[in-house]
Amino acid sequence: MEIGFNEGLNFPQIKRSFRTDARLRIRDFLRPENAQQLNHALSSEVVYQLALFSQGKNLNVTEDQIRRLPTQEQQSIQQDVLANAGKGIGFLYGRHALKLGEESNPILHSLHRWLNSETVLGWVRDLSGHRDVVSASAQATRYVAGQFLTRHKDTHATEQRRLAYVISFTPDWHPDWGGLLQFYENDGTPRDAWAPGFNVLSLFDVKHVHAVSYVAPYAKAARYSITGWFLATETE
């Protein structure tokens, strides 16, 4: 299953836009048929784990594992997640990790392989000036009502991350529902926010402070995307 850039993208203009602020947003990023296939996979075929921060640890658990816990323990985890979020720490969202050679879903495997192709990596190197980019990590994400990702940078002590990306596959999202990719100044002052879209790439240097805002209880849909980093090391 072949993945590719949408025809008609103005790559020189895109490059100029990125160099202005080390971030950009590209609408109609992939071929339309690819976007439709990926939306179907993310919304109907992927099994998500729950990614959360609790008891000082990053956890990935299945919904079944949560349901099997005693009610008191479930409530304790929920309270801890929210208490951490109140301090500006943590996250809660659905996650499905993608690993090259291990992903069983054909369209997700094709996308991950394409992101690691020289076509894409060479474009990212030229666009960003990060000549050492050699691979791309990837995960499928789903945010539903009550989920969030607090303010942070994507720099990492051991992974050599250069750029973060979010490819959004969420049609008809209302910005009042939350789930916004919110950017901040280093001191926490809000800058601007990008609403989820359909077949939209958001690409930015990992030094940008950002968050995914809380998805409101009245949100009528889930926020689906493929996210990851372009790295100066090979993905495992």
**For residue 134, what is the domain's CATH number?**
2.60.120.620
Please give the pLDDT value at position 104: 84
Q: What is the DSSP string of 47-66?
A: PPEEEEEETTEEEEE-HHHH
Domain holding 170, by residue range, is: 11-30+97-231
Q: In whole angstroms, give the CA distance from residue 163 to residue 218.
A: 32
- What average pLDDT does this structure show over 166-174? 97
The answer to whether position 124 is within a domain reads yes
At 80-95, the pLDDT tens digits run 999 999 999 999 999 9
The answer to whether position 175 is within a domain reads yes
The answer to whether position 236 is within a domain reads no
Q: What percent of the chain has pLDDT over 70?
A: 100
The answer to whether position 200 is within a domain reads yes
Q: In whole angstroms, give the CA distance from residue 233 to residue 236.
A: 9
Residue 234 burial (CB count, 10 A): 9
Query: Which of the four pLDDT bands, split at 50, 70 and 90, describes residue 157?
Result: confident
Please give the pLDDT value at position 234: 86
pTM of the complete model:
0.95
The answer to whether position 50 is within a domain reads no
User: Total domain count for the chain?
Assistant: 1
Contact partners, residue 61, CB within 8 Å, separation at least 6: 49, 50, 52
The answer to whether position 75 is within a domain reads no
The answer to whether position 19 is within a domain reads yes
The answer to whether position 117 is within a domain reads yes
Please give the pLDDT value at position 27: 97
